[in-house]
Amino acid sequence: MSDVIVDCIGVNTHFGAHHVLKNINLTVRPGETVGLVGESGSGKTTLGRAILGIGPISSGRIVFEGQDIGGVAPRDRKGRAASIQAVFQDPYTSLNPSMTIEDILIEPIVARGQAAKADAAAQVHKLLDQVALPKDAAQRYPREFSGGQRQRIAIARALALSPHLIVCDEPVSALDLSTQARVLDLFVEIQERTGVAYLFVSHDLSVVRHISHRVAVMRGGEIVEFGECDQVTADPQHDYTKRLLLAAPVADPVRQAERRAALRALSRGA
């Protein structure tokens, strides 16, 4: 029990006639990052939303610290399961434009009844400090911050309940290259300090490789490969993983030419 924090067992989801999650089995260990990589329509976001309780499942179980939370809405979750948090892709729409940063950060605390509004406000500075934002950010509005800063605010909100698990849905995809690297470092630093586990959903294999301990590759609603990060990203077994790996261009013209040839050979063979 204690070596697994989330255990998805045979999870299926249907949207009408579409079978979007097909018998998903996935585990996340405490303090671990599991990267969930796939292309659009692969079901990776649907799986993340199912674990968060804001997306449906048709069958199967999602066990979090011994408690089945599959299909339970966030507001009905009890105990530690209530602290599962999310960081979403677009830092421009994930923060309500008409609320101050302080109101945004204390919302989870007040919603869970953990503290009154005044007491919760005292924690705001600590949260801002954790994501390296200045104290005076509290009274400002989201529009006054850049994309990278907004994503730090979203991370601070996710940390407000001291969660054991954060589901990150493409949290750096909308950011510039240099900002992306800094935000990823922040994720790693927070994990090493607090021991939070991440389910890290991304289409970008290089991002996933940077942050993950284990990687699951999704395609068409199925996990086609799941294993240690090093093994999946350096020596993939499944043909689709191989293609995904070779398709991402690398920032080196010589190696990229080799990879291109390898990809061409692979597609011809397939």
Partner 1 sequence: MSAASTTPAPASAPGRESIVRSVLTNPLGLVAALLLLLVIVAAVFAPLIAPFAADDLQIFKINAPPGDGYLLGGDGSGRDIFSRLVYGTQNTLVGALIALSVAAAIGVTAGLFAGYFGGRREVVMSWVADGLMALPALIVLLAFYQSLGSSIHVSMIIFGVMLSPGFYRLTRNLVNGVKHELYVDAARVSGLSDMRIIARHILLVIRAPVIIQVSIVAGISIVIQAGLEFLGLGDPAVPTWGGMLQDAFANMFVVPTAILWPGLAISVTVASFVLLANAIRDRLQQGDRVATAPKIPAPAPHPVGTAPNDAAVLLDVRELVVGYPTKSGWTEVVKGVSLQLRRGEVLGLVGESGSGKTQTAFAILGLLSTGGRILSGSIWFDGRDIANLPESEMQKLRGKRIAYVPQEPMSNLDPAFRIGFQLTEPMVTVLGISKAEAKARALKLLARVGMPDPVRTYNAYPHQISGGMAQRVLIARAISCKPDLLIADEPTTALDVTVQAEVLELMRDLQAEMNMSVVLVTHNFGVVADICHRVSVMRDGRVVETSAVQSLFADPQHDYTKLLLAAVLDDVTPRVYRPVQAKEVSA
Q: Binding partner 1 by CB under 8 A: which of 13, 46, 94, 241?
A: 94
Contacts to partner 1 from residues 113-142, by CB under 8 A = none
HSE-CB at 63 with a 13 A cutoff on CA atoms is 14
Contacts to partner 1 from residues 1-60, by CB under 8 A = 2-3, 29-33, 39-40, 52-54
HSE-CB at 245 with a 13 A cutoff on CA atoms is 21
Contacts to partner 1 from residues 145-204, by CB under 8 A = 147, 154, 157, 159, 162, 164, 176-181, 184, 188, 193-196, 203-204
Cβ contacts of 124 within 8 Å, gap of 6 or more:
101, 102, 105, 106, 138
Cβ contacts of 132 within 8 Å, gap of 6 or more:
152, 186
Helix, strand or coil for residue 100?
A: coil
By the rule CB under 8 A, 108 interacts with partner 1 = yes
* Of the candidates 91, 203, 210, the residue with the CA atom closest to the CA atom of residue 152: 91
Which region among 10-18, 116-124, 131-139, 248-256 touches partner 1 (by CB under 8 A)?
248-256
Q: Closest approach of Cβ 63 to partner 1, in Å? A: 16
Q: Binding partner 1 by CB under 8 A: which of 66, 79, 111, 139?
A: 111
By the rule CB under 8 A, 233 interacts with partner 1 = yes
Toward partner 1, which CB reaches closer, 11 or 191? Answer: 191
DSSP E strands, the chain: 6-15, 18-28, 33-38, 59-64, 67-68, 85-87, 165-169, 197-202, 214-219, 222-228
Contacts to partner 1 from residues 199-228, by CB under 8 A = 203-207, 209-214, 228
Which region among 16-24, 84-92, 116-124, 131-139 touches partner 1 (by CB under 8 A)?
84-92
Task: State how far the Cα of 258 lies from the Cα of 239, in Å rounded to an integer.
Answer: 18
Toward partner 1, which CB reaches closer, 20 or 246? Answer: 246
Residues that bind partner 1 (rule: CB under 8 A) add up to a total of 84
List the structure tokens of 81: 């399961």
By the rule CB under 8 A, 69 interacts with partner 1 = no
Which region among 12-20, 104-112, 116-124, 131-139 touches partner 1 (by CB under 8 A)?
104-112
Cβ contacts of 23 within 8 Å, gap of 6 or more:
10, 11, 12, 60, 222
